Amino acid sequence: MKLKIAIGLSVIVLACCIASFILPWYYLSKKETNLLPKQNVVFKWKYYQCQIGDKDKFDSINYDDIGICGFGTIGTFKMPDVAKILNTCLSFLVIGAAVALFTVLLQFVILLSPKLCRSCIWKVLSIAGSIATIVLLFISFFTLLGLPKAFKEDYILPCDDYWCDKVYGDDADYKWLPHAGWWTTLAACFFALCSGVMTLASSR
């Protein structure tokens, strides 16, 4: 029963990884004023998207292109350092998801072939897979904390005392914070830990 729970948790890890691929990882917002509408900037893997006011349409701009997103949010510079941070996050996320898939396959082998898998090596490999998944996803998760420095290197204006200073903030003019993809990666780490513990506690 514990092994089945571990498999279920590993499947949730994979689902969280898929969600992390799809969802954006960072968000900037310039709040509405009497003169200007609200402006949102959402950061994805290869580009960022701008939304002005209540429009349903997002304008997409590649990190290696010169673009402008509204007034007072993102300037006209290219963003190679921001792209490097997000590419590093993506790389470790991909490897972590691959290891998570390998782990759940091992758990299925242990469940379906108990006589074949009486050797503890299968269980050790499965637990090691869970640990490796946690490490890789944590690296992906914490790499995003380098984004403020990357914004500063790329001269993203206006950013002093804002997103060039810390990864999260909220004041009268701006709000900036990690988005849903970042948090689902953290959730994947938690479920991978639980899966490893349940595999260790299982009788097989």
Structure-block tokens of residue 102: 């390998």
The predicted pLDDT at position 76 comes to 57
The predicted pLDDT at position 71 comes to 54
Structure-block tokens of residue 109: 């082998």
DSSP letter (8 states) at residue 176: E
**Nearest to residue 27, comparing CAs of 58, 65, 67, 64?**
58
Q: Which domains does the chain have, with CATH numbers?
A: 2-201 (1.20.140.150)
Q: Cα torsion for 63, 66, 71, 74, to the nearest 10°?
A: 30
For 45-75, give the secondary structure using H, E and C: CCEEEEEECCCCCCEEEECCCCCCECCCCEC
First CA to last CA distance, the chain: 10
How many CA atoms are closer than 13 Å to the CA of 34, on its beta-carbon side? 0
Mean pLDDT on 163-175: 75
The predicted pLDDT at position 59 comes to 72
Q: What is the pTM of this model?
A: 0.83
